[in-house]
């Protein structure tokens, strides 16, 4: 046999098997689903088997390359172990760069045990002149590969993504959610994976265009998932959230002329309780003249049909409400609503306004013009900042070209919304 062919036949199995090991160790979060402790046992047995096989291939290649000379068995065994051990160490180092995998000295121990067992078996076979049985070994190898390749079930991947999210590893969780939805679109976890991916983009990364695209994809692909589609529509309305309705949120508004010394309004948000009140929030506005409390007003808010509705009473089934915000938040979008019995035309005149208020500097604000249809030509403007809420109110008369500040946000304490 020509040297090239001989060496190829000896070393090709080593190279190919090293490639298989590299591929398998690159699978994120490798775990066999729903079998508990057996997952650990099977994975450690797999370490022993795959590196035992590598040790056997390495011994065969070295033995065939060096030749069968007296006294070479120990030296071939040593080098087969040493080279296989080095690859085991490099394999664990490789897992440092794989999401959800970590290098483990314990795994190197099991790898080494597998190599030693294989080399010991070879030495015994040589001593006792036992012929190898290739069929069962090949079958075992195929079974092992099947275990590996089916070990990443979508349920486990979904739970792993939630665990990463809980730990604050949002980027890894986002990638995992998107991968689940892409590779397992028919699995029950796909729809919630898309939803949670959208919420991560919305809340954690403030990537509102990306989150909106994800939510629209969810609505298009899974219209039958009515509950989560409803949540996705609400999330689209809140990307970004110009009026964050979260329990215990607090805003302090004050007159612009004195910076709140003459007048302040404390807005306190609380979530209504009861199954029939889900998604209904009560905001109590306490008015102060200086430090003296003057009055209090209660309003109720819901997000319905991609619009924000304000009710004067707790009966949110009533047809009497004011539409404060309406999607899409694009310049030129207009709607007619009622407030205190008067018809009002609302128009979005800007969605990229930059505003400086007492509470800070705010970019990408909505500027909404309200016109009382009974008094045309007089306007009130409200500015809403992303993930903050109402930050400024101005007025402009019929013959005025300038807006005059009425009140603005002095401070706020806001909580992250629940998913």
H-run or E-run covering 141: helix 134-149
Residues 103 and 120 in one domain: yes
Do 110 and 51 fall into the same domain?
A: yes
Domain range for 215? 154-237
Q: Are residues 260 and 314 in the same domain?
A: yes
Q: Does a structural domain hold residue 243?
A: no
Q: Confirm if 129 and 140 have CB atoms less than 8 A apart.
A: no
Among residues 308, 253, 310, 316, the alpha carbon closest in space to that of 283 is found at 310
Same domain? For 132 and 179 the reply is no
Q: Which of 75, 74, 54 is nearest to 118 (CA)?
A: 54
**145 lies in the same domain as 226:** no
Q: What is the DSSP string of 317-335?
A: TSS--EEEEESS--TT-EE
d(CA 286, CA 297) in angstroms, rounded, equals 7
Domains: count for the chain:
3
**Per-residue model confidence (pLDDT) at position 36:** 44
The CATH number of whichever domain residue 224 belongs to comes to: 1.25.40.10
User: How would you write the pLDDT of the chain (419 residues) with one tens digit per residue?
Assistant: 567 677 788 888 999 989 988 888 777 655 544 444 444 566 677 788 889 889 889 988 888 887 555 555 557 888 899 999 999 999 888 877 776 566 778 888 888 988 988 888 888 877 776 555 554 454 455 445 545 544 456 777 888 899 899 999 999 999 999 999 998 899 889 999 999 999 999 999 999 999 999 999 999 999 999 999 999 999 999 999 999 999 999 999 999 999 999 999 999 999 987 645 678 999 999 999 999 999 999 999 999 889 999 999 999 999 999 999 999 999 999 999 999 889 999 999 999 999 999 999 999 999 999 999 999 989 999 999 999 999 999 999 888 889 999 999 999 999 988 77
89 shares a domain with 37: yes
Picking from 186, 208, 237, the residue at the C-terminal end of a domain is: 237
Q: Decide which of 131, 149, 167 is a domain's last residue.
A: 149
Residue 405 domain-assigned (yes or no)? yes
110 and 195 part of one domain: no
Helix (H) or strand (E) holding 180: helix 170-183
The 3-state secondary structure of 280-343, one letter per residue: CEEEEEEEEECCEEEEEEEEEEEEECCEEEEECCCCCCCCCCEEEEECCCCCCCEEEEEECCEE
pTM of the predicted structure, to 2 decimals: 0.66
57 and 191 both lie in a single domain: no
CB–CB of 215/197 below 8 Å? no
From residue 353, give the alpha-carbon distance in Å to each of 188, 208, 366, 391.
42, 17, 6, 12
Domain boundary among 210, 237, 264: 237
Classify residue 142: in a domain, yes or no: yes
Same domain, yes or no: 106 and 144: yes
User: How many angstroms separate the CA atoms of 37 and 102, rounded?
Assistant: 19
Q: Does residue 244 lie within any of the structural domains?
A: no
Predicted pLDDT of residue 30: 54
Do the domain assignments include residue 418? no
Note whether 167 and 283 are same-domain residues. no
């Amino acid at each position: 046999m020509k040297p090239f062919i001989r060496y190829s036949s000896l070393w090709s199995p080593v190279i190919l098997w090293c490639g298989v090991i590299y591929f398998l160790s690159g699978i994120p979060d490798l775990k066999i689903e729903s079998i508990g402790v057996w997952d650990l046992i099977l994975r450690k047995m797999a370490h022993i088997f795959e590196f035992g096989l590598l040790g056997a291939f390495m011994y065969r290649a070295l033995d065939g390359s060096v030749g069968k000379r007296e006294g070479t068995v120990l030296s071939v065994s040593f080098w087969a172990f040493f080279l296989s051990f080095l690859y085991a160490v490099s394999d664990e180092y490789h897992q440092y760069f794989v999401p959800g995998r970590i290098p483990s000295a314990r795994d190197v121990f099991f790898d080494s045990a597998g190599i030693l067992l294989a080399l010991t078996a070879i030495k015994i076979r040589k001593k006792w002149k036992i012929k190898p049985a290739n069929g069962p070994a090949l079958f075992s190898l195929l079974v092992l590969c099947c275990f590996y390749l089916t070990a990443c079930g979508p349920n486990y991947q979904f739970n792993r993504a939630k665990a990463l999210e809980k730990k604050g590893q949002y980027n890894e969780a986002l990638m995992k959610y998107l991968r689940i939805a892409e590779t397992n679109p028919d699995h029950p976890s796909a729809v919630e994976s898309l939803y949670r991916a959208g919420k991560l983009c919305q809340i954690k990364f403030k990537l509102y265009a990306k989150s909106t695209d994800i939510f629209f994809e969810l609505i298009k692909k899974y219209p039958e998932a009515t509950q989560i589609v409803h949540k996705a529509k609400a999330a689209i309305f809140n990307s970004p959230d110009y009026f964050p309705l979260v329990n215990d949120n607090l805003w302090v508004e004050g007159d612009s002329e004195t910076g709140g010394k003459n007048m302040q309004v404390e807005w306190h948000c609380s979530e209504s309780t009861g199954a029939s009140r889900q998604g209904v929030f009560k905001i109590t506005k306490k008015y102060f003249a200086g430090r003296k409390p003057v009055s209090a007003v209660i309003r109720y808010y819901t997000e319905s049909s991609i619009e924000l509705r304000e009710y004067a009473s707790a009966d949110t089934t009533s047809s009497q409400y004011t539409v404060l915000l309406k999607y899409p938040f694009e310049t030129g979008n207009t709607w007619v609503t009622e407030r205190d019995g008067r018809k009002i035309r609302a128009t979005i005149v800007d969605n990229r306004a930059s505003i400086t208020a007492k509470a800070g500097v705010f970019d990408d604000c909505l500027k909404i013009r309200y016109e009382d249809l009974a008094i045309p030509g007089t306007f009130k403007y409200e500015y809403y900042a992303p993930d903050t809420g109402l930050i400024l109110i101005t007025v402009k008369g019929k013959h005025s070209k300038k807006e005059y500040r009425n009140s603005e946000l002095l401070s706020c304490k806001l909580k992250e919304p629940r998913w």
